[in-house]
Chain A
Amino acid sequence: MSEPTSTDPISTAPPGTGRIGVRKTYKLFIGGAFPRSESGRSYVVNDAKGRFVANASQASRKDVRDAVGAARKAFGAWSERTPYNRGQILYRVAEMLEGRRAQFVDELRAAGQAKSAASTEVDQAVDRWVWYAGWADKLGAVVGSANPVAGPFFNFSTPEPTGVVGVIAPDSPLLGLVSVVAPAIVSGNTCVVVAAEPAPLPAITLAEVLATSDLPGGVVNLLTGRRAELAPWLASHMDVDALDLAGIVSGGAELEEAAAGNLKRVIRPGSGDWSEEPGTARMTAFLETKTVWHPVGV
């Protein structure tokens, strides 16, 4: 961790010597734009050795509200994109992420990971986007059905996205984040994500990837800040349809209880190994099954 790299957020050159680095301001990602928190608050993010890295935006209840509004606004058009188109956009995210490998490796290293672990995590995150991208136009065939009813009717069931998903991302700052965002949006949901609290910066850099991948603004909204402050607002918000509590360690029961207010679909907290192949559960949790009947006749 001692060798500075070209993208190190902090210049380690002595004052007054050489070129001064241009730092990045880490803001929120709402509706495709990068605003600061409306609250004007920020919190210090240090590296693993306790050195200052950046002031991250500390999102507020009103930022949650704005993000939910943006996600709701984006839902109609995103869910009406063809699955093929959504698949291409998710694949494009993988391409953009691959192109920024070095930057993400550096950020993960700043968050305390060894070089090889950081490199592996970025590889896995890219591959995860590719994996989910391929699901977009296959889910309907795998979980839908034509139903053999006892009567002169054509009857079929298709999966449809639930709507706006609130996501409390796990601590795994990149792979964990990708592993909860990709399954939510691949089927046409939009989401509001509270990034990993201890290491929020890769989430905002991922937002830069999303913003340059033809992903419509508002499909993914990323907030940095205090989980304990933001999660209850997301869990009780009446215009949020589903909730992924992946990043919740304690207080999950209260959040689930709040989610009952409008009967959100909830993925309960669970300790997962994000490096394993995910399976379909995180996608199907945020799908509704629609069954259509039509008479057969002349």
Chain B
Amino acid sequence: MDFEYAPAPESRAVVDIRPSYGLFIGGEWTDGSGGDRRKTIDPATEEPLAEFVVATAADVDRAVAAARAAHDRVWGPMPGRERAKYLYRIARIIQERSRELAVLESIDNGKPIRESRDVDLPLVAAHFFYNAGWADKLGHAGFGPDPRPLGVAAQVIPWNFPLLMLAWKIAPALACGNTVVLKPAETTPLTALAFAEICRQAELPPGVVNIVTGAGETGRALVAHDGVDKVAFTGSTDVGRQIARTVAGTRKRLTLELGGKAANIVYDDAALDQAVEGVVNGIFFNQGHVCCAGSRLLVQESIADELLGRLRTRMATLRVGDPLDKNTDVGAINSAEQLDRITALSEAGELEGAERWSPPCELPERGFWFAPTLFTGVAQSHRIAREEIFGPVLSVLTFRTPAEAVEKANNTPYGLSAGVWTEKGSRVLWTAERLRAGVVWANTFNKFDPASPFGGYKESGFGREGGRHGLEAYLDV
């Protein structure tokens, strides 16, 4: 039998990208007031995909006013059981259009179709379906008999899981009775704009969801707007800090889901092949553009050589390339800017004395690409052990005792996630108890579910998304 590679590209024909998009405000497509437009490109080819509006402060003002009116007149007074039905409708439309949205996500973001199809889109639909059910049961959620919404939520999301982050933000906000103004990232606006069309198909009342596109300035105008009651942000810790300063001293509630530098701890009794799969999934899933990526491998010294041998063998089988090829494991880096950052930090790793290794790997000529990369001999002081790289770069450190593993794992200002690999149940729980991180994956990694709270300790932010806990961010409690 011949197992040679043959491409299996997903068809682009299911997607209809318009040449240009307006802002979605008050249920209508509108032009921006400023006339400034940007292009979003396909990071795998650098071809422009569409133009979008850079919303000005005046546009943001209109969007907030639309959200306020919708909240006060329609969405706030509406019984929860009716709100629920809109959310169920949205969940169903997402399921119906999921192939189209998966292809669109892969084109705009660069992530492999295998992931957008099998991870992002099913979770997007699940988040709406899950939160829909809360809308008429909020009195049973543990926040008092009749918890009230906050009002208008300003939501700013990143480019790594564009539609999934939208779902994490919009679904609970709407279920709790808030209306939203959401700003997608400037490199990945297309699925959010497609979502605006889904709101229209669902006949969601105008103004309940407003989508304003733009870059940093638009985001700043949105979170600083006096008319918003709640700010939710997912993105870098630096921007999170700026937002926390902006919101200081106001009535606005704030939740932040920020950066991470997760440790993935492999003990000497771990099931090694499973651990290798988990380590690979932990750092190479979504090109490592994951805030909870397992970017520091902490391996017990006695098994380090064997584990790293198996890891290198496994990494050599990763297929890097066309995001729409169903064989692809690692897609395109989302932007030139992000590629520069990954490149610079990797160079810093070499300069500081760590040993760099990548499997032989042919990268396409156009587009933004970075080969899966492993650094060994990493010290805790190295930048590649401390700073979030947000790319397919794994830093390997070793430890001798469980106490040392925990100490090294916690030696970071971040605290979003961590992994533990051991066959011993008591060691799983002992380690999980001591890790200062909001999500601990034991003998697994990078699992997500709308019923499972997600969010960080320390400088990875505060507040939780998902589950009963996630409702608190959108209720006046």
Contacts and interface: CB of A to CB of B under 8 A. Distances in A.
Given A262-B413, A263-B237, A294 B453 contact: no
A256 B248 contact: yes
Interface in B224-254: 237, 240-241, 244-245, 248-250
Interface string B307-327: 000000000000000000000
A16 interface: no
21 contacts: A145-B453, A145-B469, A150-B126, A150-B449, A155-B451, A157-B452, A157-B453, A157-B469, A241-B458, A252-B249, A257-B244, A257-B248, A259-B248, A260-B241, A262-B413, A263-B458, A263-B462, A291-B454, A291-B467, A293-B447, A294-B444
B440 A290 contact: yes
A148 B451 CA distance: 6
A289 B465 CA distance: 11
A162 B464 CA distance: 14
Contact of B444 (A157, A260, A293): A293
A155 B454 CA distance: 12
Interface string B408-444: 0000010100000000000010001001011111111
Nearest to A149: B449
A142 interface: yes
A262 B459 contact: yes
A143 B413 CA distance: 25
Contacts of B126: 150
User: What is the predominant secondary structure among interface residues of chain A facing chain B?
Assistant: mixed
Interface of A: 142-143, 145, 147-151, 153, 155, 157, 162, 241, 252-254, 256-257, 259-263, 265, 281, 288-295
A265 B447 contact: no
Contacts of A292: 432, 439-442
Given A145-B453, A145-B469, A263-B458, 4 more contacts: A145-B467, A153-B444, A157-B467, A293-B452
A265 B413 CA distance: 15
A292 B451 CA distance: 13
A290 B433 CA distance: 9
A147 B450 CA distance: 9
Given A151-B449, A291-B438, A263 B244 contact: yes
B241 A261 contact: yes
A125 B467 CA distance: 36
B249 A149 contact: no
Most chain B Cβ neighbours within 10 Å, of A142, A157, A288, A289:
A289
A148 B240 CA distance: 30
B241 A263 contact: yes
Given A260-B241, A289-B455, A294 B442 contact: yes
B6 to A, nearest CB: 31
Contacts of B452: 147, 149, 155, 157, 291, 293
Contacts of B437: 290
Given A142-B142, A253-B248, A265-B462, A293 B439 contact: yes
Given A252-B249, A289-B455, A294 B467 contact: no
Contacts of A148: 451
B457 interface: yes
B467 A260 contact: no
Contacts of A265: 462
A115 B377 CA distance: 69
Given A289-B464, A292-B432, A294-B442, A260 B449 contact: no
A185 B65 CA distance: 43
Nearest to A152: B444
Interface in B456-477: 457-459, 461-462, 464, 467-469, 477
B262 interface: no
Given A142-B142, A293-B441, A155 B449 contact: yes
Contacts of A259: 244, 248
Contacts of B428: 294
Contact of B245 (A145, A150, A257): A257
Given A153-B444, A253-B248, A256-B249, A291 B462 contact: no
A263 B454 CA distance: 17
A262 B413 CA distance: 8
